[in-house]
């Protein structure tokens, strides 16, 4: 028998001083049975990093040809494609061909991320609309501690640092752009 997804609700108060974006978002997330709380919280982080009124979660893990998040313009074209993890070079190429901007949020140990970066080296050089953002493994695991079925998170972004706090905990992240 297949397991059902677990539903999480999050209210985000985002203050992004770097982009001058200030808004509240109420989000319902489904934690897929094969997904960890760490990955789900990284999806929330990615939402906060690129937040806008039209940014939305997709079916993600359930559908191969959709990213974790996307922003479409009013005519249905993909403006922003946001994927998490370590996608194949074929998937990276496909994303870059379908979207004006592609943001990959990678996380995990150096033993996993560094070989992946080498494997997509050709795509990194070829694609001008691709940006890779790395989240240090210690910080992503700390982020997972904020996961609750009902979350109220304050997210402050300034000078490349992300402070996420709940009523019980706070985490500081320093994502960086991979050159």
| Tokens matching residue 21 | 């974006």
Q: Which residues of 85-124 are buried (b: 16+ CB within 10 A; e: fewer)?
A: bbbeeebbbbbbeebebbbbbbbbeeeebeebbeebeebb
The domains of the chain, with CATH numbers, are 6-177 (3.10.640.10)
Phi, psi at 144, each rounded to 5°: -60, -25
d(CA 127, CA 97): 9
Average pLDDT of the chain is 93
State the number of CA atoms in the 13 A half-sphere of 41 facing the CB: 26
| Between residues 4 and 17, the one the model is more confident about | 17
Q: What angle do CA 120, 83, 36 make, to 5 degrees?
A: 110
For 76, list phi and psi in degrees, rounded to 5: 90, 0
CA atoms within 13 A on the CB side of 141: 5
Asked whether residue 160 carries a pLDDT value surpassing 80, the answer given is yes
Q: How far apart are CA 106 and CA 167, in angstroms?
A: 27
pLDDT-derived band at 14, boundaries 50, 70, 90: very high
Each residue's pLDDT tens digit, 71-81: 999 999 999 99
Report pTM: 0.94
Q: Tell me the HSE value of 163 on the side-chain side, using a 13 A CA sphere.
A: 9
**Site of tokens 């943001």:** 103
pLDDT in tens, 86-133: 999 999 999 999 999 999 999 999 999 999 999 999 889 999 999 999
Strands (E), the chain: 6-16, 21-31, 55-57, 69-72, 78-84, 99-107, 130-135, 150-158, 161-165, 170-173, 176-177
């Amino acid at each position: 028998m297949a397991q059902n997804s677990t539903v999480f609700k999050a209210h985000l108060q985002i203050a992004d001083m770097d982009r001058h974006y200030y808004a509240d978002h109420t989000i319902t997330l489904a934690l897929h049975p094969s997904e960890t709380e760490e990955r789900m919280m990284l999806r929330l982080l990615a939402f906060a990093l690129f937040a806008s009124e039209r940014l939305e979660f997709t079916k993600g893990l359930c559908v191969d040809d959709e990213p974790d998040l996307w922003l479409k313009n009013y005519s249905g074209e993909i403006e922003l494609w946001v994927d998490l993890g370590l996608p194949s070079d074929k998937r990276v190429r496909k994303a870059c061909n379908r979207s004006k901007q592609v943001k990959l949020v990678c996380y995990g140990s150096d033993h996993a991320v560094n070989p992946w970066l080498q494997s997509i080296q050709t795509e990194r050089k070829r694609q001008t609309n691709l940006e890779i953002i790395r989240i240090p493994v210690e910080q992503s695991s700390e982020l997972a501690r904020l996961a609750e079925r009902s979350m109220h998170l304050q997210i402050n972004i300034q000078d490349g640092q992300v402070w996420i706090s709940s009523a019980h905990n706070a985490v500081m992240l320093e994502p960086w752009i991979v050159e």
